[in-house]
Every structure is written in C-alpha cells, then in structure tokens.
Amino acid sequence: MDPFAVLLLCGSLVLFSVSGFGGAVDVISASQTLRDGETLNSSGGVFQLGFFSPGRSTGRYLGIWYSNIPVQTIVWVANRSKPVADSSGSLIVNRTGGLVLTSRGNVVVWSASPTGFVQNPVLQLLDNGNLVLRSAADASGGSSSGNFFWQSFDYPTDTFLPEMKLGWDLRTGIKRSFSSWSSPDDPSPGDFTWSLQNIEFPETMARKGGTKYFRSGPWNGLRFSGAPQQSLNPIFWYNFTSNEDEVYYMYHVNNKSMLVRSTLNHSNYMWERSTWSPDSQEWRVFLQLPKDYCDNYGLCGPYGKCSMTNLPYCQCLKGFSPTSLDKWNSNDWSQGCVRNKPLGCPKSKDGFLKYSNIKLPDTTNCSVDATLSLKDCEKKCLINCSCTAYTNSDIRGKGSGCAMWFGELLDLRQYPDAGQDIYIRMPASEIAGKHGPVAWMIAVVVLVVAVSCGLLLVICLFCRRKKNTTGNKEVSLIGQEHEMPEDDLELPLFDLATISNATNNFSDKNKLGEGGFGPVFKGVLDDGHEIAVKKLSASSTQGMHEFKNEVILIAKLQHRNLVKLLGCCIQDEEKLLIYEYMHNKSLDAFIFDPSRSKLLDWKRRFHIISGVARGLLYLHQDSRLRIIHRDLKASNVLLDEEMNPKISDFGLARIFGGDQTEANTTRVVGTYGYMAPEYAIDGLFSVKSDVFSFGILILETVSGKRNRAIYHSNNSLVGHAWELYKTGKSIELIDPSLSDTCTISEVLRCIHVGLLCLQEHPDDRPAMSLVVVMLSSNGSLPYPNQPGFLAERKIRDSMSSSSKNESISVNDISFTLLQPR
C-alpha cells in the first residue's frame, strides 16, 4: 500500500478515537469522547444521547431523547442537578469502565462507576432508551438484555419507559424511583416523587415532598387493586416480581413501534401516560393519576370509603360513624370514622364483615403469608386482637395467600365493578348471623312471620291460578304449552287488567311506537309510576321462545346503560313486557330528525356513544352471563330524562357459556342495516357481531344519517365514511348541526374507532374492552382495514340456498331474507 495512504488511514483512526464520531454508531469505546454537539444514536434510530438546554435555560445537560420526532422529548438526564455552564462538556469512558462527564478545565460534573471489572468496556445506547455499560463482546449483538455493569434504567429521572423497572434491587440496594423536574427550564429533582414501597405487600406511592397524595393499592396477582384500568387496556401487559433479590413493577407495549412514555408532570403533580401521534405530531395523554376525586390519598380518613357514584363521596363503613359529625357534614372527612361498638377481643369473639369491589387500604402496616388459604388467614387474623382486616394477597384462580392489616384502615375506595374483596373485623353484635340473644330471638320471630306469609302467598296464588284456568282458560306461565318457571323470572307478574287500565286500554294516544315485534305503549300505574309496555302482536315473529328469552335474560342484568325490566304479563293470549319509561324515547328519534337533531349537541352524543360502549362491555364481559345482543341499533338505544343511553330489546339476545366465543345459526334475525357480514351471510355470530353493529351506530350518531343501502360500498354510509377516511376528509361526515358544538379531534377519533369496529374480518375488530379504552383516551389508533360490505351477489347466493323465509328488518323497515346455508 502507498505509505501516504497508510499514514492517512492511521491518522483518521486516531482522529476518530479522540475527537468523536458520527451519529451512525451506538457505542462509545474506552477512551473515546462524546463532546457537546455530537450525538450517540441507538442502533434502530429510536433514541439519541447528547447535550441539550431545556426551555429558556442556557445550562447544558447530558440526556437521552427520542431521535425521530420533531418535539424534543427528554427521557433521562445525567447531570440533572449540575449543568455545564457552556458548550465545553464532554463524556468519556475510561479504561476501567467509569463514566466521567467534565466541563472546561476538566472539572468533573457527573460520574458513574461500574459494578465490577469490565473487559473492553463500551457505552451503548439501546433502542428501548437504556444507556448501558457492557463489555465490547456483549455489545456486538445490540441486545437489550445481558450483563450490564451500569445502566441508566437503574437511575431514572422523571420518565418511566416500557421495560424499565420501578422498585428495588435488594442485592445492591438500588432504588429505582422517579422524581419530577423542578420546572420546564430545570431538570433538577422537583417535589413530586413516585416510588414502590419496599414493604411486605408492595404498592406504588406518589408524594409531594414527604406527604402521600396517591397510591395504587397493592399488586394482587393481576393488577394493582386501585388501578382497574390495567385490566381494560390490552395495549400493554404488565409484570410484577417480588422475591429475595428484587421487588419491581414493569410494563410492556405489545406494538413495539408505538412510542409510549409515563412521566411525572411537575406543574399539576400528575402521573401521565401518553403516546406519540404521528398524525397530529404531538404527545396524547390517555391516562392520568390521580384520575378523580377519590384518588386523593386518605380523603375519607380512617375507616371511611370513597365512592364516585355517591354524594357525598365519603361514607363510613358499616358499624362506624363520623369522628366529628360537624366536620363530616361540612365535607371535611379527614378525621374519618370510629367504631360504634368496641371490639370484643380477647374477652369475646369478633367476626368479619365482607366488603366487595374495594381498593385495598394502605399496606404500610400489613403482613403477608403466601402459604395460607383464605380460611386459614381468617383464623390467624381472628386470634390476633391487633388484626383489623384480611384478604387474599393473590386473587388469581380461586385466590391464595394471606394479607392482614394491623391498626386503622386508611384510603379505602369503593368501585362499582373493580377492586377486590376484603374482610374487616367487627364485634359480633354488628354482624348478621352473629348477634346476641335478643337479636337472635328477633331473627327467629322474623323468620317465622316470613315463612307464614310465604305459605299464605302460595295458597293465594294456587287459588287464583285455579280460578283463572277454569274461568277464562288463561295460558299459564307453568302450562305445558309454554313452560316458563316462575323461579326463573325474578321479577313481578302484572295483571292484564292493571296494564290495560294503565295504558287506557292500549289507546293509540298512548302509543310510543312500533317495532318488529309489536307496538309499545306508555302507561301510568295507580301509584303514578310511568311505564312502557311492549305488547307482542299476534303476527309478531317473536314467539314464546323470544319472549321467555327476553324476560329471563334482562331480569338478571343490572347496569346503568341497560333498560330496566319491571315485570311481565301473560294472560288471555297477551304477552306483555313492562319496562321503565324513557322520557326521551329512542336515539333514532333525535339523530335522524332534522329539527330534533339540534337538541343533541356533540357532548351529549359522545356521552351516548360512550354509555352504549360500556353497556355492551358489561354484556360481553362483566355480567354474570356472556350475552350477544344481536340487534343493536339506534331505535334500541333509549334515552332517559338526562339523555343517559340504555340498551333495550333483548328478544334476540343469546347467552354464551364458559369459554364460548362464537356460534352458528340457520335462523338469521335482526336488523339488516346493522348486521355483520359473517352473520347476515353465513349465520355466524359472536361478540364481534355486536362490535360491528356498534360501529354502524357510531357513524350514524356522528353523521345523523341512516346506513340504509349496504349492498354496494359506494352507496352506504359505511362506504362513504371509508372513502372520506382514506382521503383525509372524515370531517365531511360530521352532522352539520354539530358544527358549533363539536370537538373535532374527538369526533374524528370516534369515526376512526367506528371504522375499526366495522372491519371485514371479525378477528380484526377490537373487543369492547379496547373500544372503551380507545374512546376515553388520546392514544394513537391503528389503521383500519377495509370495512365489511355485504356484496349483492353473496346475498343472492345466500337467498337461493334455502326455501325458508325469515323476517328481519332493514332499519325498522320490514324485509324478508331467506335462511343462509
């Protein structure tokens, strides 16, 4: 080789090792220097290490940020309390693996030492945002795991990234906790801290200074007991580790391409989780903690529980009263509650009262024995007079482990459908079934009276049934033709004369409307109670099977977004269902009426969409039964006085048992404009069929237009929405009457979610649990695939495959479809 070329090559190598490097490499070798103005990129280009000045500050800090987004977002700072005054800062890895950040005059600003001897040390920036010190041999693969002699993830600042650990390394004593910046111009530790309590029953705790103001509740095997949103969010998965070496919590993102961060906001003391939106080029917050009033630590004081569904928010536990009634009545609940009667231990036996759906109390004075069953836990707590409560430490399966509290119970919260069970110690006289002699005698008397009344009621019913059967040949609920055991009903049976009188003999003036199964009338009972009566017509396709289905099914359902069934009547060939009366009738009466649509502003429409979503989630996942509605549409969404939505008409609903997720039928019934393609064509229905119908409902509510024609994609509302979405013109779908009230980003998000629900393949459609999350958050959404259009030729093929007719409706217009194959 030419000697001059060799000399030039050697000079270049020396210059590279001393003066820095370009942005393409992800490692700094021993004796290399990273100077102000140079950057180190992770191998995939996700993160960048370099010097920066925050906000209006002129100080220079060494930090890590996202490299491919226009908004510089810092996730870690090395010298957060000691900035470099000018651009003289430089970072070097010395030959023993030490990291040294110096300023002008070689003044050490920040340093870090390895945990052991490192052979050929290199500093590497990984694609998960972790800056690690490792040997050169380990760094060649670029793995995010391995033998690290130092890592930035062990010394977090204000940002919690996926794959980071929040908690303790018990071998080294390292505590991984977070602290907010002091201000946007100053990354030094602020007042707000977030940490994992190193106690027997660990939980995360937020503090302002030394004062607690939010806690997550302890980890119960599935989630933190005070974080129900963790079970509703399939975007993430979580793991919690507690052993002799480590105690930590970690979260992961299923979609690795999604940029997610959790940060401590210095200004409002919020723990915020957000995702980067490429469309809007901004971070969108979709979770904030504390999220509501009841998340404030210790709001209701000792033995007080907080509930967002009640006013006032704080209530004393059963058997307790406010410590200071005057302060309690003035909404100062901080002193909490005291027992009405002292505990009997050790002189007499105490017992335990079960509370369900509770955020477990502060676990500072709590002990755990993972080997005990719940029964053994009760025994152990009972013999210790200082034990005030117990529960399972792990709720997976049938529950296991034992957690016991000692002393006052603080920061309890009541959820409608989250949390877990806890058993609180009470004197025997405060517990049903464990009363003293007087209470026992009262209970016996009450029991005798109840049994006597029950016998009289049975005799009366027998005599009445016998009279009706011989007199007018009434079709009995327990008759042989229509067997329908009264035990299954769990609701009152109304007399036909009572209902006839309430509806003015089913007068046309009382008629509210007419569905596929018959007319609906308004009625007023003798006590002034308003009702809605669904009268099945003789020609109705809803026979006794559908009637029984609706009665038995809806009687077992209780949710604020489901219509309440008050009773039924079967007499003189009449089949009647009596519902609570909805003053504002149904959703379709508003959104499809040009004059009335103006009464539903965007806030109300979004409230309705969200309420229907929660109602469907209850049917699909949270009720005692897994229920597929099969006929969700705008006319089956009723509105009460405050415009709260309630799903109605369960005549076509189906119950799924166990792990069943789908079924097939040759009897396709429902409303054609809302049917999923796989159901209308092949008779296959599942929870995803309801999701499809919900997607139609969203588009109709946003646009104020019916989804009438669905044979051709270009003629339907769905097809129109899809074409607008593809061309970035979704805003044109919005009902003109909403122009002055809508939040554009929120409406566009609803359209996007609607199209996700309408994807052709059922597996591509989100579950209702994810739909609820997507509607309530600001996170980025996946791109939807083409909606499921019902091709005309497939319909004709399906219709020609059978000779049997089935009556269904097209947006409440009668239509006949032949059974599919």
Higher pLDDT, 549 or 65: 65
> Tell me: the pLDDT tens digits for 489-539?
456 788 889 999 999 999 989 988 776 567 889 999 988 889 999 887 655
Q: DSSP assignment, residue 488?
A: G
- What is the mean predicted confidence (pLDDT) over 662-672? 54
Torsion of CA 59, 65, 70, 71, to 10 degrees: -60
Confidence label for 474 from pLDDT (cuts 50, 70 and 90): very low
8 Å CB contact between 406 and 368 = no
Q: How many other CB atoms sit within 10 Å of the CB of residue 140?
A: 11
pLDDT of residue 662: 52
Residues 616 and 694: beta-carbon distance below 8 Å: yes
Which string of DSSP letters, residue by residue, matches 725-767?
HHTT-GGGGS-GGGTTT--HHHHHHHHHHHHHHTBSSGGGSPP
Contact 591, 645 (CB under 8 A): no
Catalytic residues: 631
Comparing 390-404, 479-493, 587-601, 693-707, the range with the smallest average pLDDT is 479-493
Statement: residue 352 has pLDDT above 90: yes
Q: How far apart are CA 186 and CA 810, in angstroms?
A: 62
Residue 132 to residues 128, 375, 697, Cα–Cα distance (Å): 11, 48, 51
Mean pLDDT of the chain: 80
Q: Which of 755, 764, 747, 768 has the alpha carbon at shortest distance from 613?
A: 768
Of the pLDDT bands very low, low, confident and very high (cuts 50, 70, 90), residue 473 is: very low
Band of residue 687 on the pLDDT scale cut at 50, 70, 90: confident
Task: Answer for the pair 545, 594: CB distance below 8 angstroms, yes or no.
Answer: no
The answer to whether 733 and 699 are in contact (CB under 8 A) is: yes
Q: At residue 53, does pLDDT exceed 70? A: yes
Query: DSSP states of 540-580 as a string?
Result: -S--HHHHHHHHHHHHT---TTBPPEEEEEEETTEEEEEEE
Q: Which of 267, 412, 292 is CA-nearest to residue 353?
A: 412
Return the pLDDT at 490. Answer: 56
| Rounded Cα distance, 165 and 187, in Å | 21
Lowest model confidence (mean pLDDT) among 524-533, 547-556, 698-707: 547-556
pLDDT tens, residue by residue, 159-195? 999 999 999 999 999 999 999 999 999 999 999 999 9
Distance (Å, whole) CA 754 – CA 742: 17
Amino acid 651: pLDDT? 63
pLDDT on residue 672: 65
Q: Give SS3 for 257.
A: coil
Q: Is the pLDDT of residue 387 over 70?
A: yes
Whether residue 223 is predicted with pLDDT greater than 60 in this model: the reply is: yes
pLDDT of 649 reads: 80
State residue 433's pLDDT score.
46
Across 757-770, average pLDDT: 90
> Mean per-residue pLDDT for 563-589?
86
Q: Per-residue pLDDT for 576 more than 60? A: yes
Distance of CA 696 to the CA centre of its chain: 22
**How far apart, in whole angstroms, are the C-alpha atoms of residue 100 and residue 109?**
8
Distance between CA 513 and CA 525 in Å, rounded?
A: 20
Give the C-alpha separation, 153 to 147, whole Å: 14
Give residue 413's pLDDT: 93
Contacts of 460 (CB under 8 A, 6+ apart): none
What confidence score (pLDDT) does residue 186 get?
A: 96
What would the mean pLDDT of 622-648 be, rounded to a whole number? 86
pLDDT higher than threshold 80 for residue 671: no
Buried b (16+ CB within 10 A) or exposed e, 741-766: ebeeeebbbbbbbbbbbbbeebebbb
Question: From CA 654, how far away is CA 204, in angstroms rounded?
Answer: 42
The residue among 638, 512, 533, 514 whose CA lies nearest residue 586 is: 638
Residue 7 DSSP SS3: helix
| Amino acid present at 789 | F
CA dist list (Å): 108 to 132, 157, 663: 20, 20, 70
Gap between the Cα atoms of 435 and 119, Å rounded: 73
**C-alpha gyration radius of the chain:** 33
d(CA 805, CA 185): 72
**pLDDT score at 705:** 92
The sign of the torsion formed by the CA atoms of 152, 64, 259, 223 equals positive
Alpha carbons 505 and 702: distance in angstroms, whole number? 39
Contacts of 302 (CB under 8 A, 6+ apart): 336, 337, 408, 409, 410
Quote the pTM value.
0.55
Nearest to residue 96, comparing CAs of 113, 82, 84, 81? 113
Label residue 594 by pLDDT band (50, 70, 90): confident
Least confident segment among 209-218, 288-297, 550-559, 620-629: 550-559
- Asked whether residue 48 carries a pLDDT value surpassing 90, the answer given is yes
Does residue 294 contact residue 313 with C-beta atoms inside 8 Å?
A: yes
Taking Cα atoms as reference points, which of 599, 597, 579 lies closest to residue 588?
597
Q: Which helix (H) or strand (E) holds 773?
A: helix 768-776
pLDDT at 153 over 80: yes
For residues 22 and 605, which has the higher predicted lDDT (pLDDT)?
Answer: 605
- Hey, which bits of 675-722 come out as E strands? 684-686
Angle between helices 687-703 and 717-726 (to 10 degrees): 80
Nearest to 507 by CA among 520, 497, 498, 518: 520
